[in-house]
Amino acid sequence: MALGVAKIAAKVSAVGGVLYWSVQQGIWGSSKEGSEAGKKLTRTFVEPAKKCIEKIPSLTDISSKEYWNSGVSSWLNSVSQLSDMGRVPTQKSKSASSL
C-alpha cells in the first residue's frame, strides 16, 4: 500500500515539476515568450545533440562484418559449452545414485 502511494506521489511530483519548469521557461505565455522558449530549448538540447551525433563514426569507418562475425562466433561457442556443462552434473548424479 505504501509503495503504491509512493509511486503515485513520485509521478505527481514529476509532472508538477515539469509543469512548473515549463511555466518558468515561458512555454505557456504569449506567442513571443513561447517562441523565445523554443529557441532556448533548441540551443540547450538540439545543438549539443548534433555535436554528439557528429562524433559517432560512420558505418564505412567501422568494419561491422568483423564485429558481427566475432559476436556470432562467441555466441556459438557459448552455446556449445552449455551442452557440455549440462552433461557433467548428470554424470555426477548417476555415479552418486549408484552408490
Report the candidate in 61, 60, 27, 58 with the shortest Cα–Cα distance to residue 44.
27
Domain boundaries, the chain: 25-56, 59-93
**pLDDT(96) > 60:** no
pLDDT value for 6 = 92
pLDDT value for 14 = 95
- For the chain, helix, strand, coil in percent to 5 are 85, 0, 15
- Under 8 Å between Cβ of 37 and 26: yes
Q: What is the pLDDT of residues 40-78, one digit of tens each?
A: 888 888 888 888 888 877 766 666 666 778 888 888 888
- Under 8 Å between Cβ of 22 and 28: yes
Q: Where does the pLDDT of residue 12 fall: very low under 50, low under 70, confident under 90, or very high at 90 and above?
A: very high
